[in-house]
Amino acid sequence: MSERKQRVTVTVDRDLLEAGSRAVAEGLAESFSGWVNDALVNRAARDERLRALSEAIASYEAEFGEITAEEIAGQQRADREAAVVVRGRKQKRRTPSGRRAREGA
């Protein structure tokens, strides 16, 4: 990105104005303009990643054929089975009445 800045006028939703002002007040951004600039940088990077992903998928499908809904569903199942829970604790078992089961019961 260029270090040269340009003033623009835009219309934004009130809740976004409040969020940006809150970020500045909480010290999460130096200024509202900086907060907006960071948001635009993040959006531009996201758009570029999506473009690259789209190109990668198109290239893969050109070589190996279209990825089917069944292949996607199969991969989703495999991903769920291989997933490791990294947050939260295992909940204690509850009885049908909703009470906790006694330890060793």
pTM over 0.85: no
Q: What is the pLDDT of residues 41-84, one digit of tens each?
A: 999 999 999 999 999 999 999 999 999 999 999 999 999 999 99
pLDDT band at residue 93 using 50, 70 and 90 as cut-offs: low
Instruction: State the amino acid at position 38 in one-letter form.
Output: D
Report how far apart, in Å, the C-alpha atoms of 2 and of each of 29, 41, 43, 96 are.
20, 12, 16, 63
| Cβ neighbours for 44, distance < 8 A, ≥ 6 positions apart | none
The answer to whether the CB of 67 falls within 8 A of the CB of 57 is: yes
